[in-house]
Amino acid sequence: MEELGWLGILGRMALRFVPVWAGLALILGLGWRARARLGPAGRLFGSWAGLSGLTLVLFWVLTALFADLIATHDPLAQLSGLKNAVPGSPAPGSSYPVYLLGGDSLARDCFSRMVVGARRVLAIAPAATLCALAVGMLLGLPAGFVGGRLDAALSFLANLVLAFPVILLFYLLVTPEIRQTALPRTVAAVLFLMPLLFLVLLWHSRFRTRAGPWALGLAAILGPGLWIWAGLALDADPSGLWRLEPGLLTVFVAVVFVNAPTAFRIVRGLALDLRHRDYVAAARTRGEGPWFIMLWEILPNARGPLIVDACLRVGYTTILLGTLGFFGLGVSPESPDWGSTINDGRRFLAIYPHAAVVPALALLSLVLGLNLLADALRTEARHD
């Protein structure tokens, strides 16, 4: 088979992405039809930035979802002779006749690595963001709502973490001496408990007056919750379904740790602003507890800015993961995540740029999409 020209490469790639196109068409089509009923989210369809942001983000989400269908090769398999092969090189005797975007320095398929890498990135970044937001909400809401000494103490803590140099933190976390201690596990155990605690408080404050739903809901939250928590944080899931490799755990802890203080600040500011509203006073005068007020009266009104922040934060976290991968941190060396791949590719950047450029472009477009989306959501929220 001949080496493919750029037109051929693009054509074949477009063909590989068919499941993504189909998904995009379906989701955007349905969204467009229902846009009048979707509120602010529906109005995204009216703005150029919102629509392109949504499309970019959806593209990568769907790619992650259908990665197995799209990838042409096993992302870890090496084919002899295809070391640093240029895009479009034929790959005889393998699952697909060409290396669409060339091979890397270990003769693995760049295209497949990019596609499978999306799955990695899109699994970790949103999960870490949610975790950080849960921490931010659990500490930020009381800080803003109660104020006073509690606020002073928590804000001091947040500033302390923020003042800690991020790079130093990462280097510390890679240091084998530290990795061997129980520190990452302990921190992970606490951090992962936060989303669970958040859900429990949410349910409890709402249904404490109704014994039936209260018990049912708590059981539904705590059962699977504790199971997942034990698996991920303590590596103690007997079934082995939920586990995180130690490297990934460290990365996760690092990412949540640096994100939590800024999330805290945002939530605290919003709570501080909303706590003097009449509806909060109304909730207090009918005897609601503080957690009900924070989670069910204040939080829903803060969701606009929080969603915008979450979008930006996922983007930021994606870059951070890239940076961490670049430091060779965490994820196993073979991992196809974009950061590690860029790092691997950089040594031959001058001669064979494609191995680094492909994941770099992928990273760029995802973050761009998230930022566009956040911007559009913010504009919409302002119009509301």
Partner 1 sequence: MTEPVLALEGLTVRFGSRRVVEDLTLRIGPGEVLGLAGESGSGKSTAALAILGDLGPGGRIEAGSLRFEGRELRGLAEREWRALRGAGIALVGQEPMAALNPSMRVGAQLAEVPRLHGRASRAEARAAARRALEELRLPDPDRMLAAYPHQLSGGQLQRIVLAMALMAEPRLLILDEPTTALDVTVEAEIMALLRGIRRTRGTAMLFIGHDLALMAGICDRLAVLYAGRLAEAGPVAQIFERARHPYTQALLAALPRIYAARRPPAPLPGSQPLPQDRPPGCAFAPRCTHARRGLCDRDPVPLETVALDAVVRCLRWREIDGAPEAAPALPGPDIGGPILEVEGLTRRFGSGRGTVHALQEASFTAFEGETLAIVGESGCGKSTLARLLMGLERADAGTIRLRGVEVQDRLAGRRPRDLTAAMQMVFQNPSDTLNPAIPAGRQVMRALELFQGGLPARTLREGLADLLGLVRLSPALAQRMPRALSGGQRQRVGIARALAGDPAVLVADEPVSALDASVQAAVIGTLLELQRTRRATLLFISHDLALVRQIADRVMVLYLGRIMEIGPAHRIFGALCHPYTRALLDAAPRPDPGAPPPSPLSGERPSALTPPSGCPFHGRCPRRAELPETLCEDRLPPLAEVAPGHRIRCHLPPERLRF
CA distances from 200 to 133, 223, 276 (A): 16, 11, 26
Q: Are strands 89-90 and 98-99 parallel, antiparallel or unpaired?
A: antiparallel
Task: Give the tokens for residue 327.
Answer: 């430091």
Compute CA 175 distance to the chain's CA centroid, rounded to the nearest angstrom: 25
Cα 27 to Cα 195: distance, rounded to the nearest angstrom: 29
CB 303, min distance to partner 1, A: 7
Contact predicate 261/159, CB 8 Å:
yes
- Identify the residue whose tokens are 């990795």: 179
Nearer to partner 1, 176 or 287 (CB): 287
Cα 349 to Cα 215: distance, rounded to the nearest angstrom: 59
Nearer to partner 1, 59 or 292 (CB): 292
Nearer to partner 1, 164 or 207 (CB): 207
CB 289, min distance to partner 1, A: 6
User: Phi, psi (5° rounding) for residue 321?
Assistant: -60, -40
Q: What is the DSSP letter of 297?
A: I
Nearer to partner 1, 280 or 360 (CB): 280
Nearer to partner 1, 33 or 303 (CB): 303
CB 285, min distance to partner 1, A: 5
Nearer to partner 1, 21 or 279 (CB): 279
CB 377, min distance to partner 1, A: 16
Cα 68 to Cα 112: distance, rounded to the nearest angstrom: 9
CB 236, min distance to partner 1, A: 39
Mutual orientation of helices 110-146 and 299-326 as an angle, nearest 10°?
A: 140
Contact predicate 86/330, CB 8 Å:
no
CB 197, min distance to partner 1, A: 21
- Identify the residue whose tokens are 């196109």: 21
CB 281, min distance to partner 1, A: 6
Cβ-Cβ contacts under 8 Å for 31 (sequence gap 6 or more): 38, 42, 45, 54
CB 136, min distance to partner 1, A: 19
DSSP string covering 321-352: HHHHHHTT-SS-TT---HHHHHHHHGGGTTT-
CB 298, min distance to partner 1, A: 9
- Identify the residue whose tokens are 């302390």: 160
Nearer to partner 1, 297 or 309 (CB): 297
Nearer to partner 1, 296 or 348 (CB): 296
Task: Give the tokens for residue 51.
Answer: 């629509």
Nearer to partner 1, 1 or 282 (CB): 282
Which residues here bind partner 1, judged by CB under 8 A?
Answer: 209-211, 277-279, 281-282, 284-290, 296-297, 300-301, 303
Q: What is the DSSP letter of 331?
A: S
